Structure 1
Amino acid sequence: MSEKFSTIEAQASYGVGRQLGEQLAANSFEGIDISAVQLGLSDAFEGKESVVSMQDMQIAFTEISQRIQKVQEAAAAAASEVGEKFLADNGAREGVVTLDSGLQYEIITEGNGDKPSYDSTVRTHYHGTFISGDVFDSSVARGEPAEFPVSGVIAGWTEALQLMPTGSKWRLFVPQHLAYGERGAGAAIPPYSTLVFEVELLDII
């Protein structure tokens, strides 16, 4: 360890900087000037007069926000287009059923138990991927079934579960508007993502 960071105060101070840097990296923009960030941080901490007027800062914030929004809108449009094409091609495959909502499914194993209702709680195993095949969540990988109310999941799941006899295993192809839509789900699922799930309905609790 550098002698510069040998004291508790120095280590804590560095930790503060690391945390601020991580937050900034997660919410950054193209062209960000780290030296200007450091100067702004130093000037604010020391109570110095701002070298940039509040008016100019507000104009700059607005411009950067508009740029970010345009980038996000372009990415969303691209994701929507890719998802729509995937579903159009997928819906033409033999064995794939497309419902009026846009939800698609194919039966891997057909069970013969009761079907859940909207008010049921179920136990399932599932494996969730993007249309690229990349996994974003899997109870199968964790080795632990998941329990949840039918009404408490994404719309595509809520619709499908009520059609599935217990003991069934279906593959669901969920359009973005029946999944997480324009908001996505944190860092795991980007906005406008079409999702694929293998869902095994183990039991109605």
Structure 2
Amino acid sequence: MRKILPISAAILVSSLTLLPLTGCSKSETAQKDNKASAAATKDQKSTDPLEVLSYAQGYQLGAQLPAEINTKQLALGIEEGKAHKDSIYTQDEIKAAFESYQKTVAQKAQEAVKKNEQFLADNAKKPEIKTAPSGLQYQILKEGTGKAPTANSTVKVNYEGKLVDGTVFDSTYSRNEPVELALGSTIPGWIEGIPKIKEGGSIMLYVPAKLGYGEHPVGNIPANSVLIFKVELLQVK
């Protein structure tokens, strides 16, 4: 039997050391797909503790995997590894595949960085956009007249977050439900930007990657992404 392949799952799984807002939800299309999938698998639910825990383990792993991972191949690897079968790939084949994949990832990352930097450079030229020393860009749509938040405040907000290509990655509007969150637990761009308005106010935030999720991909947010938020501050607690 060949030796266990020395490739850690960590090299394929996105880092979890993040600063989420409330956990990035999936797009509306993905949400519809999830509802359809949930309806289709509802009858597969089991009350057997081991089956419940097995599903939970798989669900947790799946939630951490990059979108490009082939889950059929992943499942095959798990099944054959569990059965202690010989791997169908040699260590050299896996090493070569990993190096090729890393080159592709690096190239895409460089392209994304250039695209996002160009967006910020162009956006900064607009007269309505202000740029803070940190690099945060913002536009106050409505100042508000109520209580002003601090980094230690709990705030109730409606917001929409999207990428520079217009892809919406999260929206309380689509869920018809504002959220409450501890401002200090959010990304740096929010901690700095939200206190620029008061209750009843609204703001556009253009968050550079260093004030967002940085080099970490999060859900359907690629690494090094500029994040664009429209935020309505409903209440400060």
| TM-score category, normalised to shorter length | 0.7 to 0.9
Structure 1 stretches of 4+ moved >3 Å:
22-26, 41-45
Aligned to 2:185: 152
Q: Which residue of 2 aligns with 1:135?
A: 168
Aligned residue pair count:
176
Greater shift, 90-99 or 63-72, is seen at: 63-72
Partner of 1:10: none
Higher RCO (Cα < 8 Å, 6 or more apart): 2
CA distance in structure 2 between the aligned counterparts of 1:151 and 1:24, rounded to whole angstroms: 27
Confirm or deny: 8 A CA contact 1:172 1:197 kept in the other structure: yes
TM-score calculated relative to the size of structure 1: 0.74
Please list, as runs of the form range in 1=range in 2, the aligned pairs for 1:67-106 lying within 5 A after superposition.
67-106=100-139
1:66 maps to amino acid? E
CA distance in 1, matches of 2:66, 2:217: 21
1:191 aligns with 2:191: no
Deviations along 1:65-123, one digit per CA (max 9) or x if unpaired, are: 11111111111111111011001000110110001111100111121222211111000
1:162 Cα offset (Å): 2.1
- Using the alignment, how far apart are the partners of 1:197 and 1:157 within structure 2? 9
User: Partner letter of residue 70 of structure 1?
Assistant: K
Unaligned runs of 5+ in 1: 1-18, 29-33
The CA deviation at 1:174 is 0.8
TM value normalised by structure 2: 0.65
Q: Match for residue 180 of structure 1?
A: 213
One-letter identity of the residue aligned with 2:232: E
* Match for residue 123 of structure 1 among 156, 176, 189: 156
Question: Which ranges of structure 2 fall in alignment gaps of 5 or more residues?
Answer: 1-57
Q: Counterparts of 2:181 and 2:145 in 1: how far apart (Å)?
A: 21
Equivalent residue, structure 1, for 2:234:
202
Identity of aligned residues (%): 35
Change (3 A) 1:60 1:125: same
Cα deviations across residues 23-68 of structure 1 (Å, max 9, x unaligned)?
898424xxxxx8xx979x77984x66x487xxx8222222211111
For residue 146 of structure 2, what is the aligned residue in structure 1? 113
SS at the partner of 2:134? coil
| SS of residue matched to 1:170 | strand
In 1, Cα distance between equivalents of 2:194 and 2:128? 18
Whole-Å separation in 1 of the counterparts to 2:106 and 2:229: 26
